[in-house]
Structure 1
Amino acid sequence: MNTPGHIRAVRRRTVLKGAAAAAALQLASPFIIKARGETPLRIGMVDPLTGVYAAVAQNEVTGARLAVQQVNAKGGILGRPIELLVEDSANDVGTGVQKARKLIDRDQVAFMIGDVNSGVAQAIAQVTNEKKVLHIVSGGHTDTITGSDCKWNVFRVCNTTSMEANAVADLLFTKFGKKWHFITPDYAFGHTLQKAALADLQKLGGQMTGNELTPLGTTDFSAYLIKARAANPDVLLVLPQGSDMVNCLKQIAQFGIGKQIHVAGLQQELESLEAMPPEARVGIWMFEWYWKQPGVPSVEKFVADIRKMNGGKVPTARHWFGYTSVHTLAAVANKEKSLDAKKLAEALGGFELPDNVKLQPNKCYYRKGDHQLMTSSFVGEALSQPAGDPEDLFRVERVVAGDKTAPPEAATGCQLKWPA
């Protein structure tokens, strides 16, 4: 039988336990709230980390990782740290689509960036559009991505193929002649790049002597080069990229073709120049971004930051693509205080990049009508023997603003269809 004293003691112990539990909950609450706030916000990235474009894709990833570090150091996105999840598309459309669906459905990414391969990028854009995920194409150039196949949720950082051709065509025509021959990679990027260059050539009053279509991953270009030399053009335009570009230019040097014909192209990559012997580094080209820009705000710091992550090597345009893609997403989400894809896509129309992200002298912004970034083209000459700085493999002769090279919005074929 319980005595009154025993009952009072039990009640007292119960009250003390309740108070202790309440105190423990109060102490724990800030940590619970903090833990919720620190749940990472995931960004998915699909790029060809193996194969022909492995070097440029890996540099895009490095640039994106630098941006992730910088964004997280300033509080992340809406107070949440961001996490980059990277998948290899292996230059294959089916693989790229599968990886994109995995990132969205299983890993629950909030945003998507990538891919270097234009065909893969377009296929992934179909997935992100279906899933209503904001997507920035960091490295696929074919016109249709922000042209006839544009989508309300898809933006692009790198140039279009038309922008690349428009930046350099008049210089090649004026300086070297009106007869051009093309070595063209046989897929979406190559086709649209060659088409854009041919359109410029015809406007200038020139003529094409031939167009050699080369499969992705070609190692022996001799048959194509023999035909090109026999056509006797003024200019041989080399359009393949990645290791295909390196192999083609090495064989051009071995055959001595550059002694008879001016060798040039529309898009050049620092990764390719670094992989070539000096005798293969020739011709007039355009870079989409170049690391040596004296006096341009924030470029020097970006170069130093990338060196720390890149084995001491200077950054390339691909580093800048990945870097800018992540910073764009963070900037617009924090500005709008939202993760809603439609709201952010609407806000990105006309969005201008700040100095520490654009890293170039000209204004850099996303056009409202087609979601294409108006980014500069760095036009100049590849250097077989750099003067002074062995890392400076390209002499910039002019920097052309994006709104000077881009076709008018009405001419792109883009008709954005927004969800209700």
Structure 2
Amino acid sequence: MRKTDLSAPAERPATDADPSVPLRRRTIVRAAAGAGLLQVASPFIITARAADTVKIGLDNPLTGTYAAVGKNELIGCELALEQINAKGGILGRKAELLVEDSTSGDAGTAVQKARKLIDRDKVNFLLGNVNSALALAMAQVSNEKGVLHVVPGGHTDAVTGASCHWNVFRVCNTTQMEANAVTPALIKDAGKKWYYITPDYAFGHTLQAGLEKACAKHGGTKVGGDLTPLGTTDFSSYLIKAQSANPDVIVFLTQGDDMINALKQAVQFGLDKRFHLAGGQQELEALEGLPPEARIGTWVFEWYWNQPNVPHVKEFVEAIKKKSGRVPTARTWFGYASTWTCALAANNAKSLEAVKMAKALQDFHLPPEVALMPDGAFFRAGQNQLIPNLYVGQAQAKGSAPDDLFKVTTVVKGVEAAGPLEESGCKMTWPT
């Protein structure tokens, strides 16, 4: 680990994009070349040589609990697409993005949309999903169909672990990586007795398991916990039970609107005065939705916009602000890096054949203009998991700018958080 100061003043744009703005259930984005776009190092053929397009299908939530983070991933995808087309497209052909609303929690809908994108729309790549359970279900479809699939933001370990596939790559961290990154700071700053409030699906289950494992390694213990349904609005019964257990830390593993509701109610109950409120993964979308007094605790961010000493980050932030009126979040970067991964895979393989592209991504390092973090990021061979930096720190009511709601205290190297490949559970098999 190494300590890094990522704080710097920045100005907030006059208007903010509203995450609640409804999006059409199905949209097709055709991005044209534009002036002033970021330049990415990898070479592309400039003159299009075919009339047909290369299609990237995004099957992600645009409604429900995860609508806000799904929308931000879409914004990142759109910027990447504009840049890709500005540099000649994918293998000289124009790229287009086909978007489907998976909903936030319906695996049947996500699978149906994935099949539609692959079978009817003939996409060359599949992106999605925010929801880990939906990502796993979609991975079964993409593997069956032999389509290169990038998971931007579904974290459960199995995606690149026990259920890994040769064609499925992931940009966001595994839940065990997040747990390994945050646990030392949380034990040191808050204590060893933890109570968990956990969403009752794949992401929550594996994140809690990862934290229990990491906590025990550092001498900590679980004193209780509850599983909460996705979309819970009233957390009072869970908070009362947490209070009765008298932990050092109440660990919140909820996400999206559930995180906002849980933390807001915890502060209303005054639990922040008695216990350390914290968790594994935190997101700017949730902090923005909280009142200032509830922006507290120790967390992991998977990417953060305020990195003044990291090349290309400022340009990326400005490009996103120009598109959306707000700074990018980790979700914006997930969508951006995932879309660029598609183009880079084809470019490096000189092919749109899924097996050739998947082989080209083994141990492939993202260009600095896409990685946008101090130590870069690469897809680990034999697992297809991106190994990036993780940002550990404290939520804050106000920083150097209105958007600066997280103080990074430690940048953790991904290779340290990931552990050895053999512990991932991935047994990669390739088509013969």
Partner of 1:299: 313
Structure 1 Cα separation of the partners of residues 170 and 425 of structure 2: 16
Instruction: Pick from 394, 402, 406 the counterpart of residue 406 of structure 2.
Output: 394
- Residue pairs, 1:235-384, within 5 angstroms: 235-310=249-324, 312-384=325-397
Whether contact under 8 Å (1:201, 1:207) holds in the other structure is yes
Structure 2 Cα separation of the partners of residues 387 and 135 of structure 1: 37
Structure 2 Cα separation of the partners of residues 86 and 36 of structure 1: 25
Could you list the per-position Cα deviations for residues 28-52 of structure 1 after superposition, in whole angstroms to 9, with x for gaps in the alignment? xxxxxx9971311100010011000
Aligned residues: 385
Structure 2 Cα separation of the partners of residues 309 and 389 of structure 1: 19
Partner of 1:30: none
Q: Which consecutive residues of structure 1, in runs of 5 or more, have no partner in the other structure?
A: 1-33
Partner of 1:415: 427
The CA deviation at 1:401 is 1.3
Partner of 1:113: 127
Instruction: Pick from 214, 218, 230 the counterpart of residue 232 of structure 2.
Output: 218
- Residue pairs, 1:5-20, within 5 angstroms: none
Counterpart of 1:75 in 2: which secondary structure?
coil
The CA deviation at 1:190 is 0.1
The CA deviation at 1:363 is 2.8
Whether contact under 8 Å (2:48, 2:94) holds in the other structure is no
Q: 1:35–1:359: structure 2 CA closer, same or farther, 3 Å change rule?
A: closer
Paired residue type of 1:317: A
Instruction: Pick from 202, 206, 220 the counterpart of residue 188 of structure 1.
Output: 202
Moved >6 Å (runs of 4+): none
Per mean C-alpha deviation after superposition, the further-off stretch among 317-326 and 34-43 is 34-43
Could you list the per-position Cα deviations for residues 349-373 of structure 1 after superposition, in whole angstroms to 9, with x for gaps in the alignment? 1000111000000131000011100
Whether contact under 8 Å (2:280, 2:299) holds in the other structure is yes
Partner of 1:55: 68
Whether contact under 8 Å (1:183, 1:224) holds in the other structure is yes
Partner of 2:212: 198
Please provide the CA RMSD for this pair: 1.0
Counterpart of 2:154 in 1: which secondary structure?
coil
Structure 2 Cα separation of the partners of residues 200 and 193 of structure 1: 10
The CA deviation at 1:309 is 1.4
Paired residue type of 1:288: E
Partner of 1:9: none
Whether contact under 8 Å (1:237, 1:265) holds in the other structure is yes
Q: Which has the bigger relative contact order, CA under 8 A and spacing at least 6? A: 2
- Residue pairs, 1:131-210, within 5 angstroms: 131-210=145-224
The CA deviation at 1:388 is 3.5
Structure 1 Cα separation of the partners of residues 52 and 384 of structure 2: 30
Structure 2 Cα separation of the partners of residues 407 and 220 of structure 1: 37
Report which of the two has the higher share of helix.
Answer: 1
The CA deviation at 1:158 is 0.2
Could you list the per-position Cα deviations for residues 328-383 of structure 1 after superposition, in whole angstroms to 9, with x for gaps in the alignment? 11112112210010011011010001110000001310000111000111110000
Could you list the per-position Cα deviations for residues 42-93 of structure 1 after superposition, in whole angstroms to 9, with x for gaps in the alignment? 0001001100000000000110010000000000001001000010111210
Counterpart of 2:314 in 1: which secondary structure?
helix
How high is the TM-score relative to the length of structure 1?
A: 0.90
Paired residue type of 1:327: W
The CA deviation at 1:277 is 0.6
Whether contact under 8 Å (2:149, 2:167) holds in the other structure is yes
Partner of 2:113: 99
Paired residue type of 1:245: M
Whether contact under 8 Å (1:179, 1:206) holds in the other structure is yes
Structure 1 Cα separation of the partners of residues 384 and 201 of structure 2: 23
Partner of 2:416: 404
How high is the TM-score relative to the length of structure 2?
A: 0.88
Structure 1 Cα separation of the partners of residues 48 and 88 of structure 2: 14
The CA deviation at 1:210 is 0.3
Per mean C-alpha deviation after superposition, the further-off stretch among 188-197 and 336-345 is 336-345
Whether contact under 8 Å (1:38, 1:79) holds in the other structure is no
Whether contact under 8 Å (2:396, 2:407) holds in the other structure is yes
Partner of 2:77: 64
Counterpart of 2:410 in 1: which secondary structure?
strand
Counterpart of 1:37 in 2: which secondary structure?
coil
Paired residue type of 1:370: Q
Whether contact under 8 Å (1:269, 1:316) holds in the other structure is yes
Structure 1 Cα separation of the partners of residues 192 and 111 of structure 2: 42
Structure 2 Cα separation of the partners of residues 369 and 78 of structure 1: 26
The CA deviation at 1:237 is 0.5
Paired residue type of 1:416: M
Whether contact under 8 Å (1:363, 1:401) holds in the other structure is no
